[in-house]
Structure 1
Amino acid sequence: MKYLFFTATVFCAVAFKSYAQEATPNGQTFNFTVQDCVNYAYEHQSAVVNSGLDIKSAEYKVKETTGIGLPQISGSASFQDYLKIPTTLLPGEFFGAPGTFVPVKFGVKYQSNLGVSLNQILFNGSYLVGLKASRTYRELSQRNYTRSKIEANVAVTKAYYQVLVSDEQIKLYDANITQLKQQVDQTVAQNKQGFVEKIDVDRITVQYNNLITNRENVVRSLALNYQMLKFQMGMPIDENLVLKDKLSDVSLDNNVAEMSVDTGFYHNRIEYSLQETQKKLNELDLQNKKTTYLPTLSANGSYAASYQNNNFSKLYSQVFPSSYIGLTLNVPIFSGGQRLNQVRQAKIEVQKSTNDLVNLKNTINLDAKVATVSYINGLQSLNNQKRNQELAQEVLRVSKVKYQQGVGSSIEVTQAQTSLEDADNKYIQGLYDALVSKVDLDKAYGRIK
């Protein structure tokens, strides 16, 4: 009965997995290749979406900076009701009373003013540099968007491969469970006929039980890996996702010699482009600091209409207009050395960004070398584990034959079975490591856009 229980458990796990992949609350199923998953992430992953919004924000920033150089027009309006008209003391000599002061009230009870003013920049070095900086800022946001897409691509691809590897691991477990179940049944039958001891049955049953448990653990991990993939894609984890690609569709090329031919590949890395943009921003900041030595010139004008009357109903019956146009020139003369030291600081930042660019180039080259070695090692390990897996299967087959012919022991079969399981696990780990190292290699050489 306990063998039937384990068989039923396996069947239920498989049925649950199939149901989870075929039924969703809204009845929609996404059949995606790895590229489909990546494209979905480009549109739905929050980091990528937010980077796209940053580009729009940068566009508005450019327009905002451009607007500084356009005419600045403002209007004003005021109204005053003098509850007490201001009093001024005038010398009495004006009124024939020398030596005294006569209080006199100037003004009217109601006053109102309407005006409009205009200011236009004619020359401002900081404004011209600011226009360049705003466009460079837009370029920076676009490259940040590209970096977000690359990071999403890498994360989704690795998660996709993790699902494929877990599914392959379950297939290996299924194959081992099938053959081990046959061996359990044969051993039980031989025990009933008195050909083998009870301890042989117990020993192989323990292996069978452990294999079932391990498979169930991988099934649960597979469900979690699906959720992780959907999370990396920005897809709700309760949506149904079926993977169309297979492990056989993934190309693991043994020849990576051509990757080291192009010595200028670091220009393909988005990190290098970002650092170049940062250097450009620092150079523009230096230019901005230098423009503070230059004069600024602006044109301005104003028109105002003044209304005064002691009778509120007649306040706007008569207008007293005034207007002017003019130029304002501001010439910097001495600032206590502030501008000079600001320029010196900006020069240092430019030099630092240059140093960072050189260091980043070396870092990228090293990263590519490490990724290449890791990929080659991963392929060799995978091929070795594949051969070990085949050898372990052959050792198990021979051990079974010897045991059935009475020239081998059950312990030898058990050990061979354990070695096969260990070889399968190492093969699965080697497979995943090789796939991940392939993604890292593509990223290191800037082939992921």
Structure 2
Amino acid sequence: MVNQSKKMLVAGMLLTGMLANYTGRAQVQSTSQTQSQPQKTTWTLQECVEYGLEHNLLLKQSGLNRELAFINAKQARNNVLPTVGASTSYSFNSGLNNDPTTGVLVNSNTRTNNIQVNANVPVFNGFQLRNSIKQTYLNYQASLSDLEKTQNDVLLNIVSQYLEIILSDELLAAAKLQLASSKDQAARTQKLFQAGSVAENNVFEINSQIATDEVSIINAQNRRDIAAVNLMQLLDLQNLPDFKVVKPDIKDPDEDVITFNADNVFDVAQQRMPEIKAADLRAQSALVGVKVSQGALLPQLSLGGNFNTAHFNLLKDRVVDQGPEVTTLATVGFVNGDPNLPVTTAITRRQPVVEDYTYFTQLQDNRGIGLFLNLSIPIFNGFSARNGVLRSKINHKNAVLNTEITRNQLRQTIQQSYADAVAAQKRFIAMKKQLESFQLTFRNAEIRFNNGVLNSTDYNVARNNFTRAQLDLIQAKYEYTFRLKVLDFYQGKKITF
């Protein structure tokens, strides 16, 4: 009982040590991963793009898909090589068995070891191997375009979230200014109320406006935090609570002139966008796939060979030499049946020289080699081959339609971005004029309110109109900027500010 308790104690100590070791390794690994990422908190757009293209998880996954496509293409080329395989078996039999030395059934225990090597090489298979090589190579090229498409998507998402952070920062700054203005106005209103110049309701309304401005700050801060989290996820960054971006110098939309149209952008984009290349390559691959399936209707010819040998335990000795001639006298009868008068004759025979028949010597002596041609002619297989051809033709038609769908989607994206950019530019110009008018209106209302000749309701209406115009102008500016950068990207221009 004591020994058992000691064993359990030792086992518990070992288990505890293993768990501690594992936990320590996990903590070290987690710490190393955290330390491996950059600790900087302020990022430029170029730094975000470079880091994101290197560490984004979707890009890593797309890179693995590319490696799989490469392996498939490599395997298609390797399929033209011969296939070689080896096998061995060991059997034990007891009772009535065939003696391999004499071919006679004997009652004994036998042990047999068989060894075989087979090789086969395709000679003709309806050109399926050759077409499979073409198809997998086209699929590999398409996977390269898929990777480039993922890179483009990550790039645009990084730019979008980068601008979203800047937009949120400006909205947050504007909301803080409005709150400061509301607090100043609340102090003035309180003095006017104490002087009897305004009603107490004005104080309540301005305090309500302060609460509204505080909610606006919370919403703007939340929008900014979400944009920062989205960008950090794109960069695969963690534990950066004070993540900031460098605000570039972005000119106002009314200072810019759009010198192209959507059709010009599409003409350039369809020649260089990887999603178009990938769709075209897959249509070509599907066409080659039709030829692959048609190869199943043709005869197939292969060349093969085999080598085999065996060892039998009953073969214990072997003759290595016929040996010298030995003459002996043999009695063949007696004269008149008298045993004292034998009749003899000389018999000459050889005395063979034998030795142990070893395992490897048997394997060498029992070798056998064979060659064969195998011709397979499809006659009827339940129409599976013909239906395979029909399916491959439908897949090709579907791939061709997908190329048109991809082009239409690209055209629609470009047209939508162009329309949004033009609308944002026009909206910015109109809102800039509107902001100027609302600003004058608000200043006039503020003076009148401070002098007690305007009620708080009309003052808040003028103030809210001015605030909303400011926010709309900021949003129109960054919407135009992003849409224009998307159009520049489709034209092959580098995204810079």
TM-score (norm 2): 0.73
Residue 307 (structure 1) aligns with: 311
Cα pair distance change 1:242/1:248, threshold 3 Å: same
Give the strand-richer structure, 1 or 2: 2
Provide the rounded CA distance (Å) in 1 between the counterparts of 2:290 and 2:300.
18
Provide the rounded CA distance (Å) in 2 between the counterparts of 1:219 and 1:363.
35
Q: Is the 8 A contact 2:261 2:418 kept in 1?
A: no
After TM superposition, the structure 1 = structure 2 runs for residues 345-384 of structure 1, keeping only pairs within 5 Å, are 345-384=391-430
Question: Is the partner of 1:305 in helix, strand or coil?
Answer: strand
Q: Tell me by how many angstroms 1:247 deviates.
A: 6.1
Residue 97 (structure 1) aligns with: none
Question: Is the partner of 1:326 in helix, strand or coil?
Answer: strand
Q: 1:210 aligns with which of 209, 212, 215?
A: 212
Q: Is the 8 A contact 1:73 1:119 kept in 2?
A: yes
Cα pair distance change 1:199/1:192, threshold 3 Å: same
Give the unaligned 5+ runs of structure 2.
1-33, 317-355
Alignment partner of 1:234 is 2:236: yes
Q: Is the 8 A contact 1:184 1:201 kept in 2?
A: yes
Alignment partner of 1:329 is 2:375: yes
Question: Is the partner of 1:261 in helix, strand or coil?
Answer: helix
Q: Is the 8 A contact 1:126 1:288 kept in 2?
A: yes
Alignment partner of 1:35 is 2:46: yes
Q: Deviations over 1:350-407 (max 9, x none)?
A: 2343344334434433432232112211222233233323322221111222334555
Q: Tell me by how many angstroms 1:246 deviates.
A: 3.2
Residue 116 (structure 2) aligns with: 115
Cα pair distance change 1:334/1:190, threshold 3 Å: closer
Question: Is the partner of 2:231 in helix, strand or coil?
Answer: helix
Q: Tell me by how many angstroms 1:419 deviates.
A: 1.5
Q: 1:419 aligns with which of 465, 473, 477?
A: 465
Query: Residue type of the partner of 2:403?
Result: L
Q: Tell me by how many angstroms 1:414 deviates.
A: 2.5
Provide the rounded CA distance (Å) in 1 between the counterparts of 2:474 and 2:252.
15
Provide the rounded CA distance (Å) in 2 between the counterparts of 1:322 and 1:251.
86
Residue 320 (structure 2) aligns with: none
Q: 2:78 aligns with which of 61, 67, 71?
A: 67
Question: Is the partner of 2:289 in helix, strand or coil?
Answer: helix
Alignment partner of 1:430 is 2:476: yes
After TM superposition, the structure 1 = structure 2 runs for residues 59-98 of structure 1, keeping only pairs within 5 Å, are 59-86=70-97
Q: Is the 8 A contact 2:446 2:459 kept in 1?
A: yes
Provide the rounded CA distance (Å) in 2 between the counterparts of 1:287 and 1:106.
60
Q: Deviations over 1:405-440 (max 9, x none)?
A: 555444432221122222233334434543453455
Alignment partner of 1:385 is 2:431: yes
Deviates most, 180-189 or 439-448 = 439-448
Residue 127 (structure 1) aligns with: 129
Cα pair distance change 1:203/1:59, threshold 3 Å: same
Query: Residue type of the partner of 2:46?
Result: Q
Cα pair distance change 1:215/1:224, threshold 3 Å: same
Residue 260 (structure 1) aligns with: 263
Query: Residue type of the partner of 2:134?
Result: K
- Aligned-residue Cα RMSD (Å) equals 3.3
Provide the rounded CA distance (Å) in 2 between the counterparts of 1:392 and 1:425.
13
Cα pair distance change 1:86/1:259, threshold 3 Å: same
TM-score (norm 1): 0.80
Q: Tell me by how many angstroms 1:177 deviates.
A: 2.5
Q: Tell me by how many angstroms 1:235 deviates.
A: 1.9
Give the unaligned 5+ runs of structure 1.
1-23, 89-102
Question: Is the partner of 1:85 in helix, strand or coil?
Answer: strand
Q: How many residues align?
A: 412
Q: Deviations over 1:225-271 (max 9, x none)?
A: 21122123322254653201336279894415255336633233333
Question: Is the partner of 1:427 in helix, strand or coil?
Answer: helix
Q: Tell me by how many angstroms 1:190 deviates.
A: 3.0
Cα pair distance change 1:310/1:33, threshold 3 Å: same
Q: Deviations over 1:307-338 (max 9, x none)?
A: 11227895615331111233333344565655
Q: Tell me by how many angstroms 1:75 deviates.
A: 1.4
Q: Deviations over 1:77-125 (max 9, x none)?
A: 121111223379xxxxxxxxxxxxxx94499712112222222223331
Q: Is the 8 A contact 2:431 2:472 kept in 1?
A: yes
Q: Is the 8 A contact 1:121 1:298 kept in 2?
A: yes
Residue 398 (structure 1) aligns with: 444
Q: How many percent identity over aligned positions?
A: 18
Query: Residue type of the partner of 1:215?
Result: I
